[in-house]
């Protein structure tokens, strides 16, 4: 009987305007907090908003503002498209605990799903490996903590194949996100170049291995390694070895360089080393090699905590006490460090703060207030716990 056909969907600006007896433009101004609005009208509009339960439609808003208030957080690898023989090779996310491989399943497996790599399966997939390392969770934490107060949320993407990289670029070009925060886990990652070539705003975590005109945050890795070396030396260690990160990525190179330099300056020209891949498993293997060749070593610097944990395990299995017989020092100050027994003395990388800064740089760039390409380098610090 009434001539008030309720609008089907959720209320629009139009509805609010009608309810408040003003124009759409005015409601829009109030909603967006634009000045030049009569306080009285302002109030009535607010009431109308509340009464109607109005919520602005993001798509409509984006269409005109050309902003989405979403940013992509992409974890990038350097791999080419996977080829049959490349399945497990090449890729080594910066620190994973390695394949969940071992262990045979016993007991009832009458689960509703096929156990052989179903959708979303863990497998040795890149995404699975990525989160096995505490590092990425910290990046997410830092990014979220910075973004959230600003009403923004990260869209999680992975770019480990060229196909995935194209999808990321495409996603950004569609205007699905205003920019990208990229954490690269590999050397020669083509993604940063792809993004900048497309003229898309982005900021990196860590210096790209290929020079690229793009802002990034990074750690003074060499300084961190120096802290580690000095600590080991000060402690009296004289037969020191190191488990490096992958030597094709800057972080791996720099940590080694910084450590070796400090050792050399201290009159220790010979530094046994074994390369790891930032995974616990690789750390274990590296430690075993080191121990085989240098049974008398009394100090080890691992280029990250996860490998240090692996080293501790192997040392213990070989009857060495940590830190009494062999002092071990890690890098990152991740949750793995405190979970370890003894807790790891380590070089702290303020990942959360660095990630937040990365987000800040991107947002500044988006706001247009800071167009220049810059880099922000953080200082590491030593955290002394039980292992050294």
Residue 37 token pair: 């609005």
Going by C-alpha positions, the residue among 225, 129, 243, 142 that lies closest to residue 186 is: 129
The nearer residue to DNA, 38 or 188, going by C-beta atoms, is 38
Residue 89 token pair: 């090779």
φ/ψ of residue 328, rounded to 5? -125, 135
Does residue 136 touch a copy of itself according to CB under 8 A? yes
Does residue 82 touch a copy of itself according to CB under 8 A? no
Does residue 287 touch DNA according to CB under 7 A? no
The nearer residue to a copy of itself, 35 or 110, going by C-beta atoms, is 110
> Hey, which residues does 183 pair with through a beta bridge?
75, 205
What's the order of all strands across the beta sheet hosting 345-348?
Answer: 273-275, 240-244, 299-302, 327-332, 345-348
With contacts defined by CB under 7 A, how many residues of the chain interact with DNA? 30
Task: Map residues 184-213 to x or -, x wherever contact with a copy of itself holds by CB under 8 A.
Answer: ------------------------------
Task: Judge whether 254 and 275 are in contact, CB under 8 Å.
Answer: no
Instruction: Give the whole-angstrom CA distance, residue 61 versus residue 285.
Output: 54
Give the one residue of 47, 50, 51, 63 binding DNA; rule: CB under 7 A.
Answer: 63
C-alpha separations of 270 from 221, 287, 367 in Å: 21, 17, 51
Does residue 377 touch a copy of itself according to CB under 8 A? yes
Task: Judge whether 240 and 297 are in contact, CB under 8 Å.
Answer: yes
The nearer residue to a copy of itself, 74 or 297, going by C-beta atoms, is 74
Does residue 360 touch a copy of itself according to CB under 8 A? yes
Cα atoms in the Cβ-side hemisphere of radius 13 Å centred on 21: 4
Does residue 103 touch a copy of itself according to CB under 8 A? yes
Q: What is the DSSP letter of 241?
A: E
| Binding at 210: pick from DNA, a copy of itself, none (beta carbon under 5-8 Å per type) | none
Q: Which stretch binds DNA (CB under 7 A): 18-26, 183-191, 240-248, 367-375?
A: 18-26
The nearer residue to a copy of itself, 249 or 329, going by C-beta atoms, is 329
Does residue 245 touch a copy of itself according to CB under 8 A? no
Does residue 158 touch a copy of itself according to CB under 8 A? yes
| Binding at 302: pick from DNA, a copy of itself, none (beta carbon under 5-8 Å per type) | none
Q: Which stretch binds a copy of itself (CB under 8 A): 28-36, 90-98, 203-211, 244-252?
A: 90-98
Give the one residue of 12, 185, 345, 349 binding DNA; rule: CB under 7 A.
Answer: 12
| Binding at 102: pick from DNA, a copy of itself, none (beta carbon under 5-8 Å per type) | a copy of itself
User: What's the min distance (Å) between Cβ of 73 and a copy of itself?
Assistant: 8
Task: Judge whether 123 and 117 are in contact, CB under 8 Å.
Answer: yes
User: What's the min distance (Å) between Cβ of 274 and a copy of itself?
Assistant: 19
Does residue 57 touch a copy of itself according to CB under 8 A? yes
User: What's the min distance (Å) between Cβ of 199 and DNA?
Assistant: 15
Does residue 9 touch DNA according to CB under 7 A? yes
Sequence-distant (≥ 6) Cβ neighbours of residue 300 within 8 angstroms = 240, 241, 242, 243, 287, 290, 308, 311, 315, 326, 327, 328, 329
Give the one residue of 1, 3, 36, 112 binding DNA; rule: CB under 7 A.
Answer: 36
Does residue 9 touch a copy of itself according to CB under 8 A? yes
Can you state the angle between helices 13-20 and 39-52, rounded to 10 degrees?
120
> Hey, which residues does 154 pair with through a beta bridge?
71
- Please report where in the chains the tokens 């860590």 appear, as a residue: 206
Give the one residue of 20, 45, 48, 73 binding a copy of itself; rule: CB under 8 A.
Answer: 73
Instruction: Give the whole-angstrom CA distance, residue 180 versus residue 75.
Output: 10
User: What's the min distance (Å) between Cβ of 159 and DNA?
Assistant: 23
Instruction: Give the whole-angstrom CA distance, residue 366 versus residue 355.
Output: 17
Does residue 59 touch a copy of itself according to CB under 8 A? yes
Instruction: Give the whole-angstrom CA distance, residue 220 versus residue 347.
Output: 11
Give the one residue of 18, 37, 125, 342 binding DNA; rule: CB under 7 A.
Answer: 37
Binding residues for DNA (CB under 7 A): 9, 12-14, 21-26, 28-29, 31-32, 35-38, 40-42, 54-57, 60-61, 63-65
């Amino acid at each position: 009987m009434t001539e008030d056909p309720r609008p089907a969907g959720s209320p629009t600006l139009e509805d609010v305007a009608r309810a408040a007896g003003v124009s759409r433009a005015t409601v829009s101004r109030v909603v967006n907090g634009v000045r030049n609005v009569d306080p009285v009208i302002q109030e009535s509009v607010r009431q109308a908003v509340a009464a109607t339960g109005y919520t602005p439609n993001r798509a409509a808003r984006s269409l005109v503002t050309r902003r989405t208030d979403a940013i992509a957080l992409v974890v990038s690898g350097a791999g080419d498209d996977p080829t049959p023989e490349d399945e497990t090779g090449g890729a080594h996310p910066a620190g994973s605990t390695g394949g969940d491989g071992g262990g045979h399943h016993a007991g009832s497996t009458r689960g509703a799903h096929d156990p052989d790599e179903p959708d979303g399966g863990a497998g040795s997939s890149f995404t699975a490996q990525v989160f096995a390392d505490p590092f990425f969770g910290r990046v997410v934490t830092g990014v979220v903590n910075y973004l959230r107060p600003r009403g923004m949320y990260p869209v999680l993407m992975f770019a480990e194949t060229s196909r995935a990289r194209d999808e990321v670029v495409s996603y950004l070009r569609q205007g699905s996100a205003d920019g990208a925060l990229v954490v690269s886990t590999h050397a020669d990652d083509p993604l940063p170049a792809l993004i900048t070539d497309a003229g898309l705003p982005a900021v990196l975590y860590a210096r790209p291995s290929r020079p690229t005109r793009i802002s990034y945050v990074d750690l003074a890795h060499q300084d961190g390694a120096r802290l580690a070396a000095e600590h080991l030396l000060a402690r009296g260690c004289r037969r020191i070895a190191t488990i490096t990160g992958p030597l094709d990525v800057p972080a791996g190179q720099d940590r080694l360089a910084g450590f070796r330099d400090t050792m050399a300056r201290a009159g220790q020209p010979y530094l046994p080393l074994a390369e790891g891949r930032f995974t616990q498993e690789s750390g274990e293997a590296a430690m075993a090699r080191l121990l085989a060749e240098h049974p008398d070593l009394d100090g080890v610097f691992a280029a990250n905590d996860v490998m240090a944990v692996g080293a501790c395990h192997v040392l213990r299995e070989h009857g060495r006490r940590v830190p009494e017989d062999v002092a071990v020092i890690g890098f990152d100050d991740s949750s793995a460090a405190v979970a370890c027994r003894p807790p790891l003395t380590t070089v702290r990388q303020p990942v959360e703060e660095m990630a937040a800064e990365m987000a800040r740089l991107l947002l500044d760039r988006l706001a247009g207030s800071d167009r220049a390409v810059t880099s922000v380098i953080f200082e590491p610090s030593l955290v002394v716990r039980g292992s050294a």
